[in-house]
Amino acid sequence: MGTPETSREPCPDRILDDVGGAFGMGAVGGSAFHFLKGIYNSPSGTRLLGGTQAVRMNAPRVGGSFAVWGGLFSTFDCSMVYLRQKEDPWNSIFAGAATGGFLSMRQGLGASARSAVFGGVLLALIEGAGIMLNKVLSGPQNMPIMIDEQEPVPGMVGGGPPGIPAGLPGNPVQVAESGSSDSDSSWFGGWFGGGQKKEPATSGGSKTEILESFDAPPVPSFEYNCLEYFEIEAVFEEIEFCENMMVLLSHIRDWKFILFYPSLAANEYTTVSFSSLSSSELFSLTMPPLLPLLLVLRSRTAHSYSLSVSSLVTLLRRRRSMATVVSTDPVSPTNTRVGWIGTGIMGRSMCAHLLNAGYTVTVFNRTLSKAQPLLDIGANLADSPHSLASQSDVVFSIVGYPSDVRHVLLHPSSGALSGLRPGGIIVDMTTSEPSLASELSAAASSKNCSAIDAPVSGGDRGAKTGTLAIFAGGDESVVQKLNPLFALMGKVNYMGGSGKGQFAKLANQITIATTMVGLVEGMVYAHKAGLNVELFLNAISTGAAGSKSLDLHGSRILKRDFEPGFYVNHFVKDLGICLKECQNMGLALPGLALAQQLYLSLKAHGEGNLGTQALILALERLNNVRLDNAVASKPSA
């Protein structure tokens, strides 16, 4: 049982210690705060889900912010230790001021100075109080140190019969007891510890255990770097073999992780050992490769280390290969399973193209009857997005609203992302918020998956004929990999990073909305002027006024065919997102605002489930006209 620590970790180890501690503090505190805030702000019936979602979205950000603060503070603190060659609360005061000033430099000198004062006072109080409290609570430790004695045997380093490595069962490994020294105070070679006072070996209850290198027969080849992990909970006495190496473990007490590897610098075995890992260090195994290496190779009791460059490279490569699972196989019906969420007017036709091409497709839709046509031609049915994703390599979604996207893809228990295996891909083809696309991409990356935003344009006719315009945003290599699937539905256009596909689709919707306003206004004007509207449309279709909207909707309007190729309700949603983004950008688009109001009037009249060509109804009501006789009217002389 140890006594309280009388000081913080030696520099620069304390930087890593404080980064982990600050991250944990921010993540836990931020989780509690945002969970309560999410519960409070969520509607009745979804409060628990809202709180959980708020934690998932905000806890990593808060933890990261705390970690940056902690890392910068400790870096400045260690710099002061190096410059002043001593530890005292003044280091914390200077470090707090430097941290606050540094983080506010972009806002100007005045803001930087104010933050420096605030940071210096606040963090100095925290750090100073912590140091003082440790000094008050700490006490001397006079616990006896148990060391197994061993008689030296001639002809053997460290004792033992000739030809047998030191530390065989019955021959304990020699333990060297010491305090902080130049050689072991820091694994940066004592750069920070030059002028610090050495403590007696018996003070503070800290000791160093060194596993001595031992002589062994020459190793024939080091082309294969052998890296072994051993999990040891208590006393471990056993011989392990790894390729041509024999590493002896004996009488190693209460150590958790041991790394053994051959050193290329000499024909000997080198041992890297470190004490039990804390929870923050175990958590670090999910971080990028370099940071966990630094966190893992830190010691709470100043142990010595010896690490060859080749082993460092091997460890980094092993970490990377374990962390990321990316399939390099080309997409084809033989090796790619597809999941499809949303089988409405657009989704049903798009998914049918994949089935007809021979892909194995699993579908999910809240209304089973809308999925039945796909089941009839060979699709499988899943009972939840999670279940669908667990049996798919690529998951497509095309649903109604951003809230639907969040539910079917990001729900923590039933969402598709929760069931997707590492290396899987999510493709959201819903017209949605660009910020949600970025959020989805980040959530997928955290699970070693990928997410692409790929909304489409072309209506039900383009979906049926496979001639849609697809606006793709995200990782370009992933988009290229998915080309065989996109090609079955239309032409893919890569627009840039995550969210750019949604931005492109919103710009497309603005163009369509204002074009539709111009089309129906022109038709009402032609009708009021006594023109044959059908002849008028034929005449302008070959001129500058010709457009896809005219080709798709002109004849439908004349026939009073308002069956949806795209719902008014969904178009109102799209235009609302456009206006929201315009507000964020400080952008004024009056034509967009007018179009949104006209379509909103259709929704107010209960016409939200009609197609977008029903805009003619709003103009007819405004002008008290009706185009029923538009085709029958003859041109006057």
Pairwise CA distance, residues 328 & 339, whole Å? 19
- Name the residue among 522, 519, 527, 495 with its Cα closest to residue 625: 527
Does residue 166 contact residue 158 with C-beta atoms inside 8 Å? yes
Q: How far does Cα 255 stand from its chain's mean position?
A: 33
144: cis peptide before it, omega within 30°? Answer: no
Pairwise CA distance, residues 243 & 347, whole Å? 56
Does residue 453 contact residue 446 with C-beta atoms inside 8 Å? no
Long-range CB pairs of 440-444 (<8 Å, 24+ gap) are 440/405, 440/409, 440/410, 441/474, 441/498, 441/499, 443/56, 443/410, 443/417, 444/417, 444/420
- Count, in order, helices (H) and strands (E) of the chain: 22, 14
**Which DSSP category does 105 fall into?**
G
- Name the residue among 607, 500, 613 with its Cα closest to residue 548: 613
Q: 303: how many CB neighbours lie within 10 A of its CB?
A: 20
| Residue 598 to residues 142, 594, 601, 610, Cα–Cα distance (Å) | 84, 6, 5, 14
- For residues 265-281, one letter each, b for 16 or more C-beta atoms within 10 angstroms of the residue's C-beta and e for the rest, the string is eeeebbbbbbeebbebb
- Name the residue among 453, 386, 393 with its Cα closest to residue 417: 386
Does residue 599 contact residue 615 with C-beta atoms inside 8 Å? yes
Strand boundaries in 403-503, DSSP class E: 425-428, 450-453, 456-457, 468-473, 490-496
Q: Which two tokens stand for residue 459?
A: 């209506």
- Count of alpha carbons within 13 angstroms of residue 501, beta-carbon side: 31
**Which DSSP category does 567 fall into?**
B
Pairwise CA distance, residues 120 & 122, whole Å? 6
- Which residue is catalytic, options 464, 481, 505, 573? 505
Pairwise CA distance, residues 533 & 521, whole Å? 12
Q: How far does Cα 227 stand from its chain's mean position?
A: 29
Strand pairing report for 268-274 and 456-457? unpaired
Active site residue 505: yes
Does residue 157 contact residue 214 with C-beta atoms inside 8 Å? yes
Does residue 558 contact residue 415 with C-beta atoms inside 8 Å? no
DSSP string, 359-391: -EEEEE-SSHHHHHHHHHTT-EE-SSHHHHHHT
Q: Which residues are catalytic?
A: 505
